[in-house]
Structure 1
């Protein structure tokens, strides 16, 4: 039986995910797309699918969903709001992403690996993680829940990325680095030292942002 399927987020990432889901996990056999959920927009969304206010949708039965949201904090808040609901969060690995070692990569529920990304071996990825277009993730890497890697991020081997971490477009994280929970890495940064929890780093080499 097909489950109702929603994308939480009606912005640009929601538009991309809309295409990805139909190319992944035999979508039309397992799910039926019902529309987008959003806390701001309503009406008709991408390809004329409805946008529901999240509270308007009554999950009286089982459904499936992905968070089409880049912000780590927002993903965590949404997950907490929906705790206890009968919701399936499938992981989405696009067929044009490459997982070099299928037996050596663990991917949590609700995580998306987008086209062009390459993951090698001995990698553990948490819940609701976004690995956007054309990223690379090297060996023995851990990525915590709700974190987001924007397009073109390159993660070297033996890197530890905490929960709710945002890594901006084109950033590079060198071998053996640890990035603490809630940290932000600016676009194009090159991270060659550990990043403490809650810290924003920018530049080449990456340094804490002065406020």
Structure 2
């Protein structure tokens, strides 16, 4: 099988986690990474290709994945994604080989589904999202663009999450609620009611 070339945009800690996922999927060959400076050690064996301004050199030979992490609302990931989109870059969709992803789910361009995540039937995941390790997204839930669903979070059935949302590790969202754009849900929060745009909530029940 001929592997597809992929270029990482960002070479920090999240990039290392993404590399593990990419290497678990025989679809991909990592061509290298872009960052403002060389950040990954040579032991990783991947070429430093320059800053993100060099991306245009590679748009005809590789797909891209934003590998900068997102803690809270992070416009940096969204900005990089939109800049690459403007030069007609193609974005990878990466799924760990041990993730369980329903054939009835839809995953947007530039999204990574990491180790042990479960996406049930009729889930929709937007573009440029991080679905982190051991996340459960139940049936009929919708995740907007540029979201990070952190490790071990549980999104119950029929939840609607807007764009640019951060869901902290171990959070639980009650079925049928709506989370507005650019919200932050703190680690371990239990969210039982819908949340308006731009709010940050913590605790059990989340406030």
TM, length-normalised to structure 2: 0.88
Indicate if the aligned counterparts of 1:42 and 1:50 stay in contact, CA closer than 8 A.
no
Give the CA deviation at 1:153. 0.5
Counterparts of 1:95 and 1:3, CA distance in 2: 16
Residue aligning to 2:109 = 109
Corresponding position: 1:96 with 2:98: yes
SS in structure 1 of the partner of residue 106 of structure 2: strand
Equivalent residue number for residue 52 of structure 2: 54
Which secondary structure state, in structure 1, belongs to the residue aligned with residue 110 of structure 2? Answer: coil
SS in 1 for 2:127: coil
Deviates more, 1:73-82 or 1:191-200: 73-82
Distance in 1 between residues matched to 2:26 and 2:200, nearest whole Å: 36
- CA deviation after TM superposition for structure 1 residue 76, in Å: 0.8
TM-score, normalized by length of structure 1?
Answer: 0.87
The answer to whether the Cα contact below 8 Å between 2:6 and 2:28 also exists between their aligned partners in 1 is: no
Instruction: Compute the displacement of 1:60 (Å).
Output: 5.5
Partner of 1:87: 89
Separation in 1 of the partners of 2:24 and 2:63? 16
Take 2:3 and 2:100, find their aligned partners in 1: how far apart are those partners?
Answer: 28
Deviation at 1:136, TM superposition (A): 0.3
Aligned to 1:42: 38
1:123 is matched with 123
- CA 1:121–1:108: 2 relative to 1, 3 Å: same
SS in structure 2 of the partner of residue 65 of structure 1:
strand
Q: Show the counterpart of 2:173.
A: 173
Match of 1:65 in 2: 64
Aligned CA RMSD, in angstroms, stands at 1.9
* Structure-2 separation of matches of 1:169 and 1:94: 19
Q: Is the 8 A contact 2:4 2:28 kept in 1?
A: no
| Count of equivalent residues | 200
Give the Cα–Cα distance (whole angstroms) in 1 for the partners of residues 169 and 68 of structure 2.
15
Q: Equivalent residue for 1:201?
A: 201
Distance 1:161 1:97, change over 3 A: same
> What secondary structure sits across from 2:31 in the alignment?
strand
Retained in 2: the 8 A contact 1:8–1:36? yes
5+ residue gaps, structure 1, are none
After superposition, the C-alpha distances for 1:161-210 in whole angstroms (9 at most, x for unaligned) are 00000001111111111000000000111101111100000111111xxx
User: 72, 76, 79: which is aligned to 1:77?
Assistant: 79
Structure 2, gaps ≥5 residues long: none
User: CA separation in 1, counterparts of 2:56 and 2:147?
Assistant: 28
Q: Does 1:12 align with 2:13?
A: yes
